[in-house]
Structure formats: structure tokens, C-alpha cells
Amino acid sequence: MRITIIGAGFSGVALAAALKRSAPAGTTVCLVGVDGNYGGGVAYGDARPEHVLNVRARDLGLSPDDPDDFADWFKLGERGRAGFLPRQLYGDYLRDRLHALATGDGVRVHEVRREAVAIDRFDGALHVQLDDGAAIVSDCVVLAVGALPPPPLAGVGPRLAVHPRYIGWPWQERAIERIDADARILVVGTGLTMADVAATLRQRGHRGRIDALSRHGLLPQRHAGQPLPVADLPPGIRQALAEHDLPGLLRRIRALSTVVDWRALVDALRPHTQAFWQGLSEPRRRQFLRHLRSYWEVARHRIAPAIAEQIDAMRAQGQLRILAGRLVRAGIAENGVSVLLRERGATHVRHERYDVLLRATGLNTDVARTTHPLLAQLRESGIVAADRHDLGLDTTDALEVVDAQGRPVPGLYCLGPLLRGRFWEITAVPELRVAASWLARALVEPDRAAALRAGEAILDHRQAL
């Protein structure tokens, strides 16, 4: 069997490792990814020394059966296992595990350090076209491309969009290093990417004022200093989860959070989140995305205490200001960037001048508007379609990609954040490694019905947490 995985970040490496464990002899696995951050992806390949993981080291093993593997690999003691390590170290761990996959016995994983630009079907097989003109003939192809490139920022004028004063991706070509230490910066986004940007600017000794803008002006919450005991969900919350009662669940969470640390409560909900999302009606999903999404994300995707302390210090010193509102217009002016802002609740716009406008809006999975070469080609040819909420790709329960006509595409699968429309919670290591383990078994399972039944493991992954 010939399996090609497109994307050499965490999802791709985890799937390759799972195939190494479960695929029969003679299986060929090609892992395709660009050379610069091969094995680490954007999250870990482009990380800087001051960027730390948002998950404790003890929970980051590549396999759901061995969550301690990363901590064991780094030979951490109890204190280190409960800590938040630099992301670069996790990239080193993934590349080390990938090296073992490529050199060990059994199923061989072939590293293909090229960009996949198209997928076509000929003679019953999928042909993955590479940027050097070569092609990989495959029986199955898995799209594990991770997050998509950030789309154009609304309100940015055409001259500014191509000017050095606008930074559309903070980690591209040492963009932050070129910012003057006294520059006044507007950062669009107040989430995890903004926190990384602030940490980098602080590490470089930036002196200028930084304004960070988002619709709600919400910052990621911080992890507790020490691991919290697992919260026991009371019957009322379990009933709301089973009945997919979103308003009832919110009421009960608010009530319980007065006596239980809300972080432990959010973590206790995690094993139930995918099944709860799948059981929500479409109107309830739209309600969640419109009104609750931002609040859930800052509570669910928290930052390490050390980074939170740096953010707090920058705000206390007046260097960092968090704004709630939206960018109306930004363009090049004689002395910098001219910006019009509308703060939340205001009836008028406000004019500001900055030296640099930086986009830090975080995870993008909008397939319908992406400029990603491969996904754009697949979308325009009708091979893939966006899910109804523009959270990623439309797929079946078995992770088969669905085309523009609503039909499963034989042999084409998806893994990673592009599955958010189906599972919502599918961006962090624990959920991704469970999905990778299941998909590996499904790809090589001759009994398709058995593979579909095994898909329930994706929705019930308590063993991974």
C-alpha cells in the first residue's frame, strides 16, 4: 500500500509514527513537507527561544499510548514534567522521532522535502504533484497541512499591504528583527500569536508603545502554576453534555466555577467536547461561534505562567495596551501608518498613527478563501469543499474528504486543524494524536465497516488525557 502524507508538522509526524506501528509490511509512507520547518511545522519549526509550549511537558508524547514520551526523551524530573518548555525543544523531539521512523526496520517512512502543489487522479490512483515537477503515485493521500496562511487583513490598503511597515506574518524572514526599538506598533489580534510577539519584542528590548486590537479585547488566560486536580463533573453538567444543551451547560458551568477552579473545570470538559459539538444543532453551533467562541478559546487555550507574567508587566508599565474593537482602515502615510479604529461600543472612528502594523490573528483554517497553493487548487477543481461554518474541510465521520458535490473522494483523507468543522477541538496534541492513531488503523483496515466503528475512538479519547 502506498500512503502519502502532505504536511510534516505534528499531525503528519504523528500519523507516520502510527502507521509505523500498525501498517503491514510492504507499506510505503511518503511524508511530504517544505524543507525549512520539516518535522516541526510552523508551530515548532518557526519557534524562537523565548516561545514556550502551552501544554505541560508530561502530556506531549507523540503516541496516545505513551503521553510521557516527550518528558522521558528529555529526561525530565517531576518538576520539569509539570513545566512549560521551549517550543524549539519540542521541534527537536519531533525531528528525532521522525529520524527513527525513517531509519528503523519495518514500514519505511520516506522524507520528501518538497512542496505539494496539486493532486490528480489517474488510472485509479492519486498523483501528488510536487513543486519540482515530480509526482508521487499513491493509493491514499492524507491532507495534514496544519494551519493555512493568514488571509489578507480587512481594511489594509493596497500600498500598505506590500510595504515593509506592514507585517502579515510575524515570523517571516526575520520581520520582527527589523522593527526599530522605539517604533509604535499596532498588533491586530490579542491571542496566542500576540503573546508570542510580545515575548519576542520584550526579549529584544523593545521600548516603543504596543497596542493590541481584537474584536473583544480578550487575552489568553494563564495556566495554574502547578497541575490542578481533575475536577469531577456533577450530574447536572453530565446531563447537559449528554443532551447537547448549550444554554444549560453554560448555566451549570458558571454556577460550579464559584466553588471549583474554572481551569480544572474546562479541562474536565475536554474529553466530552468533540461529542458535544457533533451533537449540537446547526443553529446552536452558529450561536456558539458568534457569541461564545472567543471566550471559550481564551479559557481553553491558555498560556504558560511565565509568559502571562511578561504580558502583565508590559501592561503595568504602560507599554502594552489591549483594545477591543476593529480596524476600519489602514494605509501608508508620510510619517508611518495611518489607522482608523472603531472601539467596541463606540459610534465614531478614531485616528491613530503607528510605525508598524503587525498581523497576529492566529490559526486560520478558512479553506473557502485560502491562498494555500494546494488547497486552492483542490478547491477550484471541486475536489474539496469548505465545511458550512468555514472552519476547515468538509469530511465524513471516517475523515474522508468530501468534494464540492457532497461525495466522499476515494483515497483522500484529512487530519489536523482542518477538521475543526467536524470536531471543533482538534488543534492540540492530545486530540491530534488520538485522531492520527485511529486514522492509521483505518487506512490499513481491510474491513471498512470495522474501521468506521473504530471511529468512535476519536469522540471518546479519555485515555489520551
Q: What is the per-residue pLDDT for 80?
A: 93
Q: What is the DSSP letter of 59?
A: G
Residue 314: enclosing H or E segment and its boundaries?
helix 305-316
pLDDT attached to residue 124: 86
Residue for grid cell 472603531: 342
Distance separating the N- and C-terminal Cα atoms of the chain: 32
Domain assignments of the chain as residue spans, ordered by start: 2-149+364-464, 158-221+302-359, 235-300
Q: How far apart are alpha carbons 459 and 448 in whole angstroms?
A: 18
Residue whose C-alpha cell is 491558555: 302
Q: What is the pLDDT of residue 47?
A: 82
The residue behind cell 513545566 is: 83
pLDDT of res. 461:
45
2-149+364-464 matches 158-221+302-359 in fold: yes
- E strand map for 183-261: 185-188, 210-214
* pLDDT for position 64: 94
The reported pLDDT for the residue numbered 366 is 94
Q: What is the pLDDT of residue 190?
A: 97
Amino acid 193 reads: T
pLDDT score for 164: 93
Q: How far is CA 387 from CA 5, 269, 336, 372, 428, in A?
A: 21, 25, 40, 17, 20
Fold of 158-221+302-359: FAD/NAD(P)-binding domain (3.50.50)
pLDDT score recorded for residue 152: 82
Whole-angstrom distance, CA of residue 183 vs CA of residue 169: 18
Contact 212, 323 (CB under 8 A): yes
Helix H or strand E segment including 11: helix 10-22
Low-confidence stretches of the chain (pLDDT < 70) are 446-465
**Regarding the domain delimited by 2-149+364-464, which CATH topology (the fold level of the hierarchy) does it fall under?**
FAD/NAD(P)-binding domain (3.50.50)
